[in-house]
Amino acid sequence: MKQCWAEAAEQRPTFDEIFNQFKTFNKGKKTNIIDSMLRMLEQYSSNLEDLIRERTEELEIEKQKTEKLLTQMLPPSVAESLKKGCTVEPEGFDLVTLYFSDIVGFTTISAMSEPIEVVDLLNDLYTLFDAIIGSHDVYKHREIK
């Protein structure tokens, strides 16, 4: 019984080892209650392990989404510093360009288009902008109103 409470999992007996010990105690006689209880505990343990594995995978997916969003909103160096818990000092730049874009006639275009067509138009347009920006040492911040 003490082995079952061991801190390190590798020091704890497996369910098969426990089952065999109970058989020894009962001199080979059938122990329906104990057998049933051990099977239920084994099934519970297996289900719990599966649930933990599933939840860990879900957590990892959400963590990746959060990190992607963070790197989209902030420059990579700032995002990394914040993830490490460091403070980020303000920076000064000698040359800065702000680019604001407005799609002339967007309201009319979107009113006459299917929603997926609007999404495709915006995706194509901003993918082109991203390709141009990607070839330069710049940081982009996109705000859609």
Residue 24 maps to a domain: no
pLDDT value of residue 55: 96
How many domains does the structure of the chain reveal? 1
Yes or no: say if 139 and 75 are a contact pair by the CB < 8 Å rule.
yes
For residue 133, the enclosing domain spans 93-144
Provide the token pair at 89. Answer: 């000092």
Residues 6 or more apart from 34 whose CB is under 8 A from it?
22, 26
Quick check: is 5 in a domain? no
pTM of the model: 0.42
Residue-by-residue pLDDT tens, the chain, 145 positions? 778 888 888 888 888 888 777 777 666 666 666 776 787 788 888 899 999 999 999 999 999 998 888 877 787 788 888 889 898 888 887 887 777 778 899 999 999 999 999 999 998 988 898 888 888 877 776 555 5
Please state the three-class secondary structure of 2-15 as a single string.
CHHHCCCHHHCCCH
